[in-house]
Structures are given as structure tokens and as C-alpha cells.
Structure 1
Amino acid sequence: MKKTENPLNELIASNLYARYSGILSLSDIPLFLVDTNGYVLNELIPSPDFCTLLCRKRRDQVCCDYRDRFNSDEEEGTFVCHHGLQNIFLPIKLHDETLGYVAGMQVYSQATEYQKFMIDVQSLKEETNTELEYIAKSIAALKTVDENKMKMHEQLCSHIAKNISIDLSESIKGHTDSDVARLSIEKEMLEKKIIDLEAKNASLVVNPHFLFNTLNCIARIAYFEHSQKTEELIYCLSDLLRYNLKQDDQLHTIASEIDNIEKYLYIQKARFTNRLEYTIDVPENIRAYRIPNMVIQPIVENALIHGITPKRDGGKISIIAEEFQDLVIISVEDNGSGFPKDVLEKINQLENNSGLGVRSTAKRLKQYYGDCYGLEIVKSDFSGSTVAIKIPMQPIGRC
């Protein structure tokens, strides 16, 4: 079949990348479409310069290793090229006829990475008439990825090949059911990605134990070496990390939040020395109230980053709590230069999804207590900032 007659060309012309941009974002490993003659029809995720400019005889045609595979009895699979790079090719079929392939990968596995250092650079220079410096940079840019990431990319290639086959079949039939089939495949891909992420997150449950044990071991060494300050900082960091990892939905006492803030500021004081001063004034009766965990620290952290850090002489952070009518108000004050204009705009945009600690904290407070409560930026100017956290006196309340 001639290149111009291939139905894949019409599909590509209909903005193919936009259709698959959602699942393509799951990978950064090369992925391209190629016809049975080896002509590259579309590079969905670009190939490395080494493959495109040094291995291919023509820019618009894959290397001889790929063409040999297309001319063999193998319909699909993975292979290692003569430079040691892992590759994949999967057929795109219409009525049992192969119109092209989804191909790519072009990375080293950990087992084949050593072959990168065995590439005959001098021969490449003579064959391609390319400067040695460019060849060296192109080789250095070749990626090495682990086996799990390669398997994920294989699944991605497989689903895109199936998607395109469905699109071609349905476009000839004149049906629109291909959208449903494609969405089903994309859903399956995203679900697999979620499972992969959940597995990685599950490993984090184990890893902190190693971290805490290591920190405690270092603290004991500091103790025996009579480094009291170092020992205290390590124990504070260990406690701070352990508290920050409590991702439950339970309300914590303000006392436990303040204890966590004190450890955070103690560590920062060691870093900033005389550039940071802080005071905490929270009456005992207020400490018994409950609040979602990790809602005060983001406010304190913002005061440190935007208020104290930019000032040459540093400054002071004050945390003050008081009861007012039926409210408990916790104020975080600093004598810095106020929030930068762009940061303030992001905080004030209710629809903003920037992920700022202040913004997400405000949302969490409203979810717990209702729209009458939450955060208020009381002041933000050249003399400093004041951010107030407002919660009801009762543990849970609605307005």
C-alpha cells in the first residue's frame, strides 16, 4: 500500500494527538506511528536525537533495525537494537490487514545501559559526517528507565494501537461508537495508572519507618558525641515528619497542632538564627478545642517564606489565639513585607486550583465547619501580614 493511500494519514490529519493527549501524558518515552514501509507518519512523543539524526538514513523513515522487523514474520513485539536500546512495535490493523505500527521506547534498560558506553563514536562520525561533540551529547541524552516504567509504556502503546484500529474501523463504517470504545480503553489505562500510583503510595507506609529509625540512630550518635543541639533538632524533625504523615480525617487538638508548630519553628530557628524570632500565645482553655490536622503550619510556613525570608534582617512570627463571641480565632502575624501581589491574587481566587497551602487549608476548614468559618487575610501590606483562622467554639458547627 502506498504511503499516500494509507487510511492512517487521514486519521492523523484529523488531529490525532488531541484525541490521545490524555493518556499520552502518562509517559515521556518516545512513541510514534509508522507505516509498513517504515515511513514515520506522526511522532506523538518525539524520538531522541540519537535515533532521529544519527541512526536513520532518512529523517522521515525509521532505522534499519525497525524495517528488518517489519519485513520479518514477527507481527509485534519488543527488540533490542544494535546500539542496545529497547524498542517496541505493535500493529495497527484494519480487517486483518496491517496498515502500520505504534512503535517507540528507544531507551536503555538497567541491564543494557552498559551498551551506551560501547557505541563506536568515531564510526558514527564518519558515517553521518557529524561533529563528535554533538554525537557525545546525543548519546548522553539517551534515557535509562526501570522495568516497571517500560511495562507501563508497553501497555500505553498497546491501547493506542487498539484505539487507532477501532477509529479506522468505525470511520469506514460511518459509525460513532468508536468514541465509546476509545473512552473505555482510556478509562482502563487511567485505572491501571491509579493502581500503579496506589502501589507506590503504599510503599511510603513502609519507608518512613526506615527514615525514623535512621534519624533516631543519628540522634543517639549525637548524644554519645555530646552534640545536644544536633540531637534535639533530629528528634524534632522525626516528630515533625511523623505528625505530618498523619493523613487521617480526625480532628486533632489545637494543643497537638501548636506542639507541632513549635517543633517546626525550632528547626527553622536553627536555620535562620537571629534572623527569626517567634512567639506563641495560646491559652490553655483554647488548646483543648479540636481542629483539622495541618491547618496552622501552612499559614506559618507562608509567613516564613513570604514575610521573613525576603527581608535582609529577618523578622518575627507571632501566633495568637483568642475567643471572640462564639468564635475561636487563631492569628498568624509577621512583620514582613506582605504577600506578593501574584500570591495574594491566587489565594483570593476561589476557583483557583494552584495547590497553595493557604488555599487548600481554607477549603478544608469550610468543609469541616461550614461557610461561616475558615481563613481571612486580615492584613497584607508593607508592614507585614496577618492571617486569621476562624473556627466555632464547639468542635463542629454549622452556620
Structure 2
Amino acid sequence: MHAYHMMSSTRTAERALRLAPAVSPQQAYVCRACRRHAARQFSTARAAAAEKPFYARWRDILFGSDQSRAAAKSREEKTKRRLGEAAARAPGELEKKRDKWGREYEVPALIDPSTHKDYVQAQTWDGLEMVGGVEWVKARADRGEPYRGFVRDTRAEMSDTQWRTLLHHITVEALVLQKAGRVAGEICNPRAEDSKNWMHTKSATVQPSVDGGVTVSFAQAEVEEQIAKGIIEDDPEGQPQHNNDLRLELKRALAASQNDGIAEDSAISTWTDITLQDPSLKLAILKRTMQLTGHRLPDPAISNSETLADLYDALKQKPEPKSLAHTPQLRRLKAELPNVSVYARRQTPVDRERKVGRWKVIEDELLARDLPVFGSRYVGAKALARS
């Protein structure tokens, strides 16, 4: 029905254009663009065929439709309900709500002259806070913005062994802070002048507990207390650590454990298999690692790191693949899909024949007939043909 309507309107428009006076009496052709434009101007559809009558459409435009009137009534009822709740609330008491994360916040008081009889509308600007302007900007600039940077300016170049050593050192410090009842995030605080944590952490034993957590133990009980004292508990000044101090801490931590059993591959599984179930512990380890080394991990790598081994794999050096076939993505694809083959170079028909064992027969037959083995485009084919 729609196609018939378009066809009839196009024919009507074309007929009208042909009957219109033209500049040249010989010009009888009308292009397709003009016919389409005329079809939009000339319509044979009746006005009575519309979904709504003409007067109903004008009534909705002037007085609003049923949906708009229902929405306005709903908004009015909601406003009255809020005013009633505000009037029933005690003076000075604010409405409290919770967001989807469970955080509680207060809603500012709703002042309405109909419910607050003592409300007097301001007539002047006196006493109102002025936001913006030169004076406002100067006042905020004079106060200053507190900022504490904790990442070193350059990224440290470390081997895989050094990454394991540093990760063990940071994990032990964070666990000692939690065991002492302190926040694990304090691991990023400056160290005391007489601190020798890099000497004490290498003797720690980290292992998973029965309840799924992590436990740390030492051969000497006083070592654990010395590690906790070596980390300043509170830093009221909030001064950022100097880059030289961060480099010195990293150097000492790596040098103290370079000959320790932690660096051996056989000892990795004793402490890297622990699960990072505590988000505060995981965040503290990541922040301290980023503070000392300057290496930042992307969000997907952080989310996928469920154990210390995963975190170590994300931080350690990754050798550059020699070719596209040696990339981790294609290696993983080959392991997951047995029917997919990955090759280091483009496969030719010769490779496919060799795979099924027919190439020797084909080569012998080509040589017997004095034909080029690899076709006429291989190196030396033309010289062989001339000879």
C-alpha cells in the first residue's frame, strides 16, 4: 500500500512538472532528483487518514496532552509530599539518605514560604556568599591546595629477581602494619632515620592462613616491632618524600636481599601464592610499589591480579616478541583453540603439500618433465628456462 502511494504521488508530480512551462520546448526530460523533490511536495494522502484528527493535534499543542498533564500532576504531588515531610521534621533536622554504595549524606533543607512562615526573602546581596570574581579567586589561591606527591619522577629499571625481592619486602611491611593494628596505607609514609626495615624483612616468613588470609612471622619477635617503629605512624606536615630518599630506600631494600633465598625460583611458591582478598592490603602494596619504582599498572591488570604471583607477572619485565606469532595473544589462542595453527611466516601451497606428504612426489614429477619446481616466479626460474 505504501509503495503504491509513493508510485502514484511520483507519477502525479512528474505529470505536473511536464505540464509546467519550460524555458525550452524541446526539454521534456525530468531528472530523478526533481521527481523525488516533487513527490515530497505533492501528496495524494488524505488528511483524514492521520492517526489523530486535526483538532486533536491542535488541542494537545495548546492545552497539553494527557501524558504531559499526568506528568505535571505527578511532579506537583511529589513536591507537596516533600514539603509535608519537611514541615513534620524537627527544626534544624536535615533529611538523610543513602546512595547505592551505602554512603550517608544530608539533603539541604527545602525552604518554602507556604510552610516556613518566618521565612523572609532577601532584598539585597548583603550577607550572601559571592562565588567567582577576582577577589574570590585570590582568596582561594592564598589558602593553597594541599597536595602530597608520592611517585618518583623516573621509572626504575629492575630485573625479575629484583621485582620479587621488592615485592616480598613491601608485602612484609604491609602485613606487619596490619598486625600492629595500623592502616596498611601507612606503608607510604616516610621512614625513621634509624630504620633498617630492609634488613629485617628478608627473614620474614609469609604464608597463607587457614581462614584464607595471610600471616607473617619472624624468628625473633622484636624484629616485628622494629619494622613497625621504622615506619612513621602519622605525618601531620604531609610533605612529599624527596626523589633521592625514594631511590635510596629502593637501593637498600634490593641490596639487603640480593643474596637471600627469596630471589631463588624454588622459593617463589612459598609466598607468592597468597590471595589478595583484602582490598586495603592490595592497594597498599600497589601504592608502595608505584612510589618506589614509578611503575604504574593499568586498571585491568590490577583487577585481574588476585594473588601476589599475578601481581608479580604484571610488574616483571616482559621480553619483546621476535615476531607476531610469538606474542602472548597468539600463543594463548593456539593453546585454547586446538584447530587453529599459528605460523611464523605466510604459508604457501608448497607448505600445505609438505604437511600431507605429497611434495616429494610432486617435485620428482616436475623435475622429470624439466619444469620449474617452484613455478616461473622463483629466483633462477628465468635463467633455467633460457638454458
Q: Normalising by structure 1, report the TM-score.
A: 0.21
Bigger radius of gyration: 2
Q: Please state which structure has a larger fraction of its residues in strand.
A: 1
Higher RCO structure (Cα 8 Å, ≥6 apart): 2
